[in-house]
C-alpha cells in the first residue's frame, strides 16, 4: 500500500528482505498497512539469494521442488501486489524512539539516513552477511578478478579451472553443482573431517573431483585476473602451485547480530531475539520473526516455512497494535477480489 502519511511515517518497517521479511510484507499489505522493507544487501532473498540461489528446496508447501532464486522471485511478486517500498543496500544500525509531528514512533537509523515507523519487524535472519575471508597474499586483491565467496551466477565458472576452499555444505555442494559446468574442480580443506552432509560427501567422493585434505590456500596470483594459486599441506609444509582461473572460498560467514545487539532487545542467546507467541519483543511495537526469533518456551526451528508462519503472526499482531479495533485474524485471502 502506498504511503500517504504527510510525515513519511510507515505503519510497519521490515528489517531484512529474506523469505520471512518478504512474506511479512505481503501480509502487512493485505492488512492495508503502509510497508517499507529495508535490506542490507543490494537484492532480496536473504540466505536463499546469497548462499544457495541455484539449489532446489523441497520443503516449501505446495512446491514439490523449487529453485531458491525462483522462490525469491515469486515472493517478491506476491508482496509487490501491495506496493511495499523497498530500500536496498541499507543496513539499519540504530533503533530509537522519536517524536515526529507529535507522534511517538520508531526511528531506524543508518550513518546517513533515518526511517520512521509505527511498528518494526526484525526479520534479519543470521544478521547482515559478511563472508569469512582468508588474509593471505593476493586473495582480497583478486576479489572481483576471479576470487569469489558466493555463486550468484554459474556463468563465470563455465569452462574454468576452479579451486574450491572449504569443507561444509556450501563448498561440497558447489563442487557437485559446478563439476559438469567448469573445466575442472579441485577441493581443498584444512582438515580430513567435513561438516557437509554425508550423502553429498559420498556423491563428491564418487564423482572423481580431487579432494585434498589438510591443504590450505597460501597465495593467489595473476594480473589482473586469477591465473593460479599456491596451496600448502598444513602438517608437512609442502607447497604446490595450481593453475586455476577462479577460486571459490566457502569457509563460512560471520553471523553476528551486529548492531541489533545494542538496541535494548532481550536476547535468547547470541543469535536469537526472545519473542512471545505474537512475535513481540520486549520493545513495544517491535516484532521479530524467522531465523532471528526464538519463541519463548520453544526452540528455534530455522526453516523457511517457520519464518512464513511467524511473518503472518507478526504482521497481523502489528496491525492490531496500531489499530486496536482491528482483529488479529486477517480474514481469508480467498475472499479477496483482486
Ligand atoms: C545452504 C542452505 C540451505 C538451506 N536449505 C533450506 C531448505 O531446503 N529448506 C528450508 O526451509 N530452509 C533452508 N535453509 C534455511 C533458510 O534459508 C533460512 O531458514 C531462511 O533463509 C531464514 O529466512 P529469514 O528471512 O528469517 O532470514 P535470512 O534469509 O537470513 O534473511 C535476513 C536478511 O536480513 C538482512 N539483514 C540483516 N541485518 C540487517 C540490518 N541490520 N539491516 C538491513 N538488513 C539486514 C540480511 O542481509 C538478509 O538478507 C537453508 C540454509 C542454508 C544456509
Pocket probe for ligand 1: among 15, 93, 125, the residue whose CB has the most ligand atoms within 8 Å is 125
Q: Locate 93 and state its grid cell.
A: 544500525
CB 312 within 8 A of CB 110: no
Looking from the CA of residue 260, the nearest atom of ligand 1 is 41
Nearest atom in ligand 1 to the alpha carbon of residue 304 is 11
Mutate to test the pocket of ligand 1, among 46, 114, 169, 307 (most ligand atoms within 8 A of CB): 46
What per-residue confidence (pLDDT) applies to 73? Answer: 98
Work out the angle at residue 18's Cα, subtended by the Cα atoms of residues 15 and 21, and round it to the nearest 5 degrees.
50
Domains of the chain: 10-129+254-335 (3.50.50.60), 133-251 (3.50.50.60)
pLDDT (0 to 100) of residue 284: 98
At 180-225, the pLDDT tens digits run 999 999 999 999 999 888 999 999 999 999 999 999 999 999 999 9
Say yes or no to pLDDT of 128 above 80. Answer: no
Return the percentage of the chain with pLDDT > 70, whole number. 98
Instruction: Give the CA diameter of the chain.
Output: 72
Cell 553476528 locates to: 256
Whole-number Å distance between alpha carbons of 279 and 273: 10
Mean pLDDT of 147-165: 92
Task: Please state, in angstroms and rounded to a whole number, the distance separating the CA atoms of residues 188 and 35.
Answer: 45
Ligand 1, CB cutoff 6 Å, lining residues:
15-21, 38-41, 46-48, 51-52, 57, 59, 91-92, 123-129, 169-170, 259-260, 290-291, 302-305, 307
Model confidence at 256, in pLDDT bands (50, 70, 90)?
low
* Ligand 1 centroid to residue 293 C-alpha, Å: 12
Non-local CB neighbours of 235 within 8 Å, separated by 6+ positions:
214
Residues in the chain: 338
Burial call 228-255: b when 16+ CB within 10 Å, e when fewer: bbbbbeeeeeeeeebebbbbbbbbebeb
Average pLDDT over all residues of the chain: 94
The pLDDT-based confidence of 4 (bands split at 50, 70, 90) is: confident
Phi, psi for 82 (deg, rounded to 5): -105, 10
Residue of the nearest CA to atom 13 in ligand 1? 303
Amino acid at each position: 500500500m502506498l504511503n500517504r502519511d504527510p510525515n513519511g511515517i510507515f505503519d510497519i518497517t521490515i528489517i531484512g528482505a529474506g523469505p520471512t521479511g518478504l512474506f511479512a510484507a505481503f501480509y502487512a499489505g493485505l492488512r492495508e498497512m503502509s510497508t517499507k522493507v529495508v535490506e542490507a544487501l543490494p537484492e532480496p532473498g536473504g540466505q536463499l539469494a546469497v548462499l544457495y540461489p541455484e539449489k532446489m528446496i523441497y520443503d516449501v508447501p505446495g512446491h514439490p521442488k523449487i529453485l531458491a532464486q525462483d522462490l525469491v522471485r515469486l515472493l517478491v511478486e506476491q508482496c509487490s501486489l501491495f506496493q511495499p517500498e523497498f530500500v536496498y543496500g541499507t543496513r539499519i544500525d540504530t533503533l530509537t524512539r522519536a517524536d515526529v509531528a507529535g507522534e511517538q514512533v520508531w526511528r531506524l537509523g543508518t550513518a546517513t539516513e533515518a526511517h520512521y515507523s509505527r511498528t518494526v519487524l526484525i526479520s534479519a535472519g543470521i544478521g547482515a552477511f559478511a563472508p569469512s575471508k582468508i588474509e593471505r597474499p593476493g586473495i582480497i586483491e583478486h576479489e572481483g578478478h576471479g576470487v569469489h565467496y558466493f555463486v550468484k551466477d554459474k556463468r563465470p565458472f563455465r569452462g574454468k579451472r576452479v579451486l574450491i576452499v572449504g569443507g561444509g555444505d556450501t563448498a561440497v555442494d558447489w563442487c557437485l553443482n559446478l563439476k559438469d559446468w567448469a573445466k575442472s574442480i579441485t577441493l581443498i580443506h584444512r582438515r580430513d573431517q567435513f561438516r557437509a552432509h554425508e550423502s553429498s560427501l559420498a556423491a563428491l567422493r564418487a564423482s572423481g573431483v580431487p579432494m585434498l585434505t589438510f591443504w590450505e590456500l597460501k597465495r593467489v596470483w595473476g594480473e589482473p585476473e586469477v591465473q593460479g594459486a599456491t596451496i600448502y599441506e598444513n602438517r608437512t609444509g609442502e607447497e604446490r602451485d595450481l593453475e586455476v582461473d577462479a577460486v571459490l572460498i566457502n569457509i563460512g560467514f560471520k553471523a553476528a547480530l551486529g548492531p541489533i545487539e545494542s538496541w535494548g532487545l532481550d536476547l535468547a542467546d547470541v543469535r536469537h531475539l526472545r519473542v512471545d507467541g505474537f512475535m513481540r519483543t520486549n520493545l513495544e511495537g517491535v516484532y521479530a520473526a524467522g531465523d532471528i526469533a526464538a519463541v519463548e518456551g520453544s526452540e528455534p526451528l530455522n526453516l523457511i516455512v517457520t519464518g512464513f508462519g511467524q511473518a503472518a503472526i507478526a504482521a497481523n499482531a502489528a496491525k492490531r497494535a496500531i489499530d486496536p479495533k482491528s482483529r488479529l485474524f486477517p480474514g481469508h485471502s480467498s475472499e479477496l477480489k483482486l
